Structure formats: structure tokens, C-alpha cells
Amino acid sequence: MSNVSLSVRDHMSNRLATLREKQDIREAVKIFTERNLFGGAVVDNRGNLVGILSVTDCIDVALRTGYHSGWRGTVGERMSRDIRTVDADDNILDVAEMFMNDHYRRYPVVEDNAVIGVITRLDVLKALCKVSESGAPV
């Protein structure tokens, strides 16, 4: 039996946009569309997580400001401050339970208050498949 890691650190992605509160919302949209990302972490000057901006937040901006008037606002005005994170050393099984119990599709992964990656539902599913295939007890 192979030993499959259950640590979030070993299954997260580091494909993550880092944004600032004062950034124009259009800059965030450009980053998301060019890099095929579904959101970004909003950090302060120390790198601490202060919010999350999602593609859904950006779609909302487009709908609310109207096609002809242009997209207005800053990342800080549109981001969500209701943030749920996971630690890099958390157990992937605990994160799977978190996904089952709430509406989030991804969690920022933090270490020492700094965002180091993101873990998605699909990342967790892949990890659970690896555990299952290894025959390791859960």
C-alpha cells in the first residue's frame, strides 16, 4: 500500500490571483479572463487575506453598472469579506466535510496568515480518489 498524503498542502493549487482593495475592478476582470481563474485573494500590504473577489462578483458589477456605462468600482467595494479559509496542514478529509456542509466552491489556503494557494472541490475529489486507489485506510 502506498502512503497518500492527506494534507491540503499536497493537493492545493498555487494558481491564484492576488489583488489589492484599491485596484480597479476592470483590472481584476482582465486578470481572471486572461489567466482563466474563477477568483482571487484580496490582500493587504502585509500579505494578509482581507477578502475574496469572485468571477460572480464581477458579473454582478457588469449587470449592475450596465453595458454602456462601463464597469465601475474597486476590488474592495465588490469583494466579499466573509472569508472561510483552510490551513495548509489541514486534513483533506476535513476539507471534504466542509465542502459538503456549505456553499463554497473553493477555499483560500493560508499559512502564517498568508495566502499560499487555493483548494477546490475538484482538488478534494482528486485527493479522495488517490486515497481510495491506494487502499489506505481513511
Set out the domains of the chain in order of their start, with CATH numbers: 8-133 (3.10.580.10)
Name which of 12-21, 113-122, 127-136 the model is least confident about. 127-136
For residue 138, pLDDT beyond 70: no
pLDDT tens-place string over residues 72-117: 789 999 999 989 999 999 999 999 999 999 988 899 999 988 899 9
**Contacts with 78 (C-beta within 8 Å, 6 or more apart), sequence order:** 25, 53, 57, 58, 60, 61
pLDDT tens-place string over residues 15-58: 889 999 999 999 999 999 999 999 999 999 988 899 999 999 99
Residue 41 in grid coordinates: 485573494
Q: What pLDDT, on the 0 to 100 scale, is given for residue 68?
A: 55
User: Taking the model in full, what pTM does it have?
Assistant: 0.83
**Contacts with 36 (C-beta within 8 Å, 6 or more apart), sequence order:** none
Q: What pLDDT, on the 0 to 100 scale, is given for residue 136?
A: 62
For residue 7, pLDDT beyond 90: yes
Q: What pLDDT, on the 0 to 100 scale, is given for residue 1?
A: 41
pLDDT band at 61 (very low <50, low <70, confident <90, very high): confident
